Amino acid sequence: MGRYADTYADWVRDPHEFWADAARDIDWVTPASDTHGADGWFTGATCNTCWNALDRHVAAGRGDQNALIYDSAMLGKVKHFTYAQLLDKVATFAGVLQRHGIVKGDRVIVYMPMVPQAVVAMLACARLGAIHSVVFGGFAAKELATRIDDARPKLIVTASCGLEPGRTIAYKPLLDAAIDLSKSKPSACIVMQRAALEADMIEGRDFDWSMEMEKARAAGLKPACVPVAATDPLYVLYTSGTTGVPKGVVRDNGGHMVALKWSMQHVYGINPGEVFWAASDVGWVVGHSYIVYAPLLHGCTTVLFEGKPVGTPDAGTFWRVIADHGVKALFTAPTAFRAIKKEDPKAELVKDYDLSKFEMLFLAGERGDPDTIQWAERALGVPVIDHWWQTESGWPMASNPMGLEPLPVKYGSPGVPVPGFDIQVVDEAAKPVAAGVTGAIVVKLPLPPGCLPTLWENEAGFHASYLADYPGYYKTADAGFIDEDGYLYVMSRTDDIINVAGHRLSTGGMEEVLAGHPDVAECAVIGVADALKGQVPLGFLVINKGVNRPMADIEKEAVALVRDKIGPVAAFKIALVVQRLPKTRSGKILRGTMRKIADGEAWTTPATIDDPAILTEIGEVLTGAGLGKKG
């Protein structure tokens, strides 16, 4: 057997011993009394995540090594932070939080662009045992308000603005609007002022980041790490569920550290001291796990990149960052590579850079399409690894385990189950299906360390969303199959989630927004194929009888409404007025058939359809809009 099979077999033989062994790589204040008890992983243990990410490395002599390299293609600026420097900033900001009354268990929302202060704020929360909840900057005020009401933060940390190509996004007015909308009000906001656009401050509520840091420094406030239970929450990260209400995925401290540290070595094949770059955003799970926590827990140098794969300034930016900082492995979403490929199809710009230290490219967030993977292999001459995971898992569930042993790549598959995950494909009765047969992808319980123990203050929702449908298993809501060699293939979602440029969005959430337009009687949102973003949302609107306005105006308003209520990240740009929506006789909207028509795939009229003529009408509207073909 190879090293992967051996390791997987070790885990199967004794999962407790396997994880107890991995836990030896973490510093504990008090060791666990039980590896996996009723309340989760490493019961009885106390620990601190910030200690393991920073203090322990400084204590072990890594203080002068770069912990974080901030590379802003937006500002044309690079800044290095050694472990000692990052620790100093984090401990000082923990002092700021403490002065504002933050203690263990309090929630702090971080609504920031890709600046080092976001990482400092996250780690400072961890230092105090406070629970951070980072909200992605591309979400609008209403989405932020929903999260504020659910997490009820005592304090919010933000920046005056974010920088997108060609425009500066004022964050502070969005935050002010969100606080106005929410029932729960934070007692203070700490605002990092950026030169591109300074924010107006509200007297008594808003505090300037730099001034607060100076005050904490002057007061000599640098709180030590507060021990927390391994099972205490480190953070809550909201992700799209099947409705407009996001789910607060909880991450614990102990299991999370053990899983992430283990993954750096065994999945990603990275050694302490090496440079790892996840080109994502701290607002997503990839950013939490592989920009912030995993590389630092492992003693690596992490790169925080503010920019885009193209246009900042060109499609060679990624290669420049890799060359300048000696990156060993890059992790991003396939959509970033599709964007680069579109701009520089022959990968000419690669030749301008020294990529000699670069060894691996990891892709996740959406299915790695074989074309993109093969293009990247040719362009870069390194292994390109598709791997599969979710906000809920926090780390890869299936991968090519590069650190254990590189397995042969099968295009279209994100690889094999990672030790810790017993992945099965089942039918509706929760019975495993044969190799090659498509079904629901589930993971046998218990989930390994690092995976969500619950949803924030919503244990019932956790059970209903993930555990109820397939007793004894965790439901991933992905569908696919496992082939005869044990490789997984993830083909689609089983719910209304779509994947837009690697971002997870609920079409149900968009429908809720569209239904709020006064002229809209009924609507349906589907995800249609897009060469760059993988999928983009498309909305169909049925207009109330008697509305006598140009339909094009209503379509424009619908697009603006989704941007305003959910945010630009939804990339909702197409709304089409139709006479009727196709439905089954029981009234279920036939979204799947509409998607096939829009994507130009072969489709058949469902036997249960109420009125087949409606599908023809839909096809005509799509053709009129330059989309779709009739199957």
Interaction site with ligand COA (CB under 6 A): 113, 137-138, 162, 164, 169, 280-281, 284, 286, 308-310, 332-333, 335-336, 339, 365, 501-503, 532, 568-569, 571
Query: Is the bond preceding residue 383 a cis peptide, omega within 30 degrees?
Result: no
Beta strand pairing call for 66-72 and 77-82: antiparallel
Minimum CB separation of residue 462 from ligand AMP in Å reads 15
Partner that binds at residue 366, options ligand COA, ligand AMP, none, CB closer than 5 to 8 Å by kind: ligand AMP
Bridge partners, 575 (sequence order): 539
* Residues written for the chain: 631
- Tell me which of 239, 301, 312, 506 binds ligand AMP, using CB under 6 A: 239
Residues 88, 116: Cα–Cα separation, whole Å: 13
Residue 504 interacts with ligand AMP (CB under 6 A)?
yes
Does position 414 interact with ligand AMP (CB under 6 A)? The reply is yes
Which DSSP string corresponds to 459-488? HHHHIIIIISSSTTEEEEEEEEEE-TTS-E
DSSP-assigned letter for residue 245:
S
Nearer to ligand COA, 127 or 247 (CB): 247
Q: Which of 160, 465, 499, 506 is in the footprint of ligand AMP by CB under 6 A?
A: 499
Work out the widest C-alpha separation in the chain, in whole angstroms: 74
Burial 38-65 (b: 16+ CB within 10 A, else e): eebbbbbbbbbbbbbbbbbbbeeebbeb
In the complex, what is the shortest distance from the CB of residue 502 to ligand COA, in angstroms, rounded to a whole number? Answer: 3
Out of ligand AMP, ligand COA, none, which partner does residue 330 contact, by CB within 5 to 8 A per kind? none
Name the minimum Å distance from CB 266 to ligand COA: 21
Q: Is the dihedral of CA 132, 133, 137, 142 positive or negative?
A: negative
Q: 78 and 46 in contact (C-beta within 8 Å)?
A: no
Rounded to a whole number of angstroms, the minimum distance from the CB of residue 415 to ligand COA is 17
Nearer to ligand AMP by C-beta: 295 or 365? 365
Question: How far apart (Å, rounded) are the C-alpha atoms in residues 305 and 119?
Answer: 12
Q: How far is the CB of 339 from ligand COA (least distance, A)?
A: 4
For the bound state, the minimum distance from the C-beta of residue 508 to ligand AMP, rounded and expressed in Å, comes to 15
* Nearest distance from C-beta of residue 466 to ligand COA, angstroms: 21
Does residue 368 interact with ligand AMP by CB under 6 A?
yes
Q: Both tokens of residue 179?
A: 């606080």
Does residue 388 belong to the site contacting ligand AMP (CB under 6 A)?
yes
- C-beta closer to ligand AMP: residue 172 or 338: 338
What CA–CA distance (Å, rounded) separates 269 from 263?
8
Nearer to ligand COA, 169 or 190 (CB): 169
List the single partner that 504 binds among ligand AMP, ligand COA, none, CB under 5 to 8 Å by kind: ligand AMP
Closest CA to 127 of 259, 189, 216: 216
Nearer to ligand COA, 164 or 519 (CB): 164
- Residue 239 CB, shortest distance to ligand AMP, in Å, is 5
Q: Helix, strand, or coil here: 434?
A: coil
CB closer to ligand AMP, 465 vs 476: 476
From the list 241, 295, 365, 403, which residue makes contact with ligand AMP (rule: CB under 6 A)?
A: 365
Q: Identify whether 272 is preceded by a cis peptide bond (ω within 30 of 0).
A: no
What is the rounded distance in angstroms from the CA atom of residue 309 to the CA atom of residue 277?
13
Q: How far is the CB of 111 from ligand COA (least distance, A)?
A: 10
**Residues at the interface with ligand AMP (CB under 6 A):** 239, 285, 364-368, 386-388, 390-391, 414, 476, 478, 490, 493, 499, 504
